Amino acid sequence: MGSRVIRVAPQDHFAFFSTECDETIRANEFSDLFQEGCKAKELFDAHKGTWWLDCYDPTDAEMKMLAKAFGIHPLTVEDIQHREAREKVEMFRNYYFVAFHAYEQDTESDDFLEMVPFYLCVFPEGVISFHYSPVPHCATVRKRIRQLKDHVTVTPDWICYAVIDDITDSFAPVIREIEQEGEIVEQTVFDARDDGFNEMLRRIGKARAKTLTMMRLLSGKADVVGMFTKRVSEGMGDNVPKGHISLYLGDIQDHIVTMYQSLIAHEKILSRSHLNYLSQLQVQSIDATHRVTDTLGKITVIGTILIPMNFVTGLFAMNVRIPGESTDENPGNFGWFFGILGVLLCIIVSATMVAKWYLAHVEKKIRGNFRNSASDNSIRSMRSKRSKHTINTIV
């Protein structure tokens, strides 16, 4: 299964966009956006349409300048500069502040799936967005505005909705990969080969880690959108979006809840597959141990039988006079030889029969102890249930 490779092109630190102008004005410093001697506010007042200023990795001095020019509250500036991780919606006198975070989408990056803080200050005339890592969402939303500006009324509230919607949609491909990986793992967990145990464990571990990371990224978004929708419906202030924007936000909230529930379901699938796989490994380990023990037992029995025979044959191999040996007076014969072989065979047969009887007796004893233990547990369980029933009846 191929992985998505999403790379974000290097971005300028500031990008100014207006619905009345098709081009985006870009600059590496905030002062480069307007002519020398002009105030920052004049750049935005000169455009009659809805404007959008995207700020990538602004310095403290630039944040101070923006806060002074647009009346951004010090608490908002502090949240942005400290990269507040908690997602939220806050209402202020002349704007509302939205913290709705994205994630690193470059699969070849070491920070893949790491949270990327993203903030929006929505004014009645326009939007200012802040982020400290390159993200594709701003360019995607600007392209969407150019395509739809003749069909929809692009307001600051609509831009805020479009950014939130694009960030939410970016989670769908990763969740789809997690769903496919979960289904594959569930189907192949019992078909893993002996040489693929480590690979399967790593695969399950990576899938679970990715699932938990996505759950963490999505955990607060539904509450933020729900709180935003509630404030929209209550109509708090002139700068709060009304009308059809609330319907859009409701659709985003449903999408987030659906994705989160899907992640929960597939995390359970992966967790169950993980447990099943570990159980399979445990059963195979026990089976291998049993086979080794059985083999060692057989070798022990064979060795026990052969050692006495080795002693007997060793006696007749010594440099002494032995029965049946050929001499000048007695030519000797093979009677003693075959007699000794017969005795050895009798010893082998007798020892084998005794060993089989002993092993069968031990196995029978073990089974009897197991059955007695199981019956004792069942009797104790029945007594416990009866006592609980009696107590409940008395109560």
Alpha carbon 9 to its chain centroid, in Å, reads 28
Number of domains in the chain: 3
Locate 290 and state its tokens.
Answer: 């049993």
Residue pair 21/62 in contact (Cβ under 8 Å)? The answer is no
Q: What is the DSSP secondary structure assignment for residue 99, as one 8-state letter?
A: E
pLDDT at 331: 65
- The model's pTM is 0.71
Last residue of a domain, one of 114, 149, 168: 168
pLDDT at 204: 87
Give CA–CA dist 123/97, Å, rounded: 9
Alpha carbon separation from 204 to 183, 187, 196, 368 (Å, rounded): 11, 12, 12, 41
Residue pair 19/145 in contact (Cβ under 8 Å)? The answer is yes
382 and 260 assigned to the same domain: no
Domain range for 223 is: 170-285
123 and 234 assigned to the same domain: no
Is the four-CA dihedral 140, 146, 151, 156 of positive or negative sign? positive
Residue pair 107/119 in contact (Cβ under 8 Å)? The answer is no
Strands (E), 163-276: none
Is the four-CA dihedral 133, 134, 137, 143 of positive or negative sign? positive
H or E stretch at 58: none
The residue type found at 393 is: T
Residue 121 bridge partners (DSSP): 97, 128
Residue pair 33/14 in contact (Cβ under 8 Å)? The answer is yes
pLDDT at 174: 92
Alpha carbon separation from 43 to 48, 175, 270 (Å, rounded): 11, 41, 54
**Which parts of the chain have pLDDT scores under 70?**
1-11, 34-47, 192-196, 232-244, 315-334, 369-395
Residue pair 150/175 in contact (Cβ under 8 Å)? The answer is no
Whether 143 is covered by a domain: the verdict is yes
List the CATH number of the domain containing 70: 3.30.460.20
Last residue of a domain, one of 168, 190, 216: 168
Residue 47's Cβ-side half-sphere holds a number of Cα atoms within 13 Å equal to 22
Give CA–CA dist 188/273, Å, rounded: 9
pLDDT at 175: 93
Q: What is the DSSP secondary structure assignment for residue 9, as one 8-state letter?
A: P
311 and 372 assigned to the same domain: yes
pLDDT at 34: 66
Residue 91 bridge partners (DSSP): 96
Whether 265 is covered by a domain: the verdict is yes
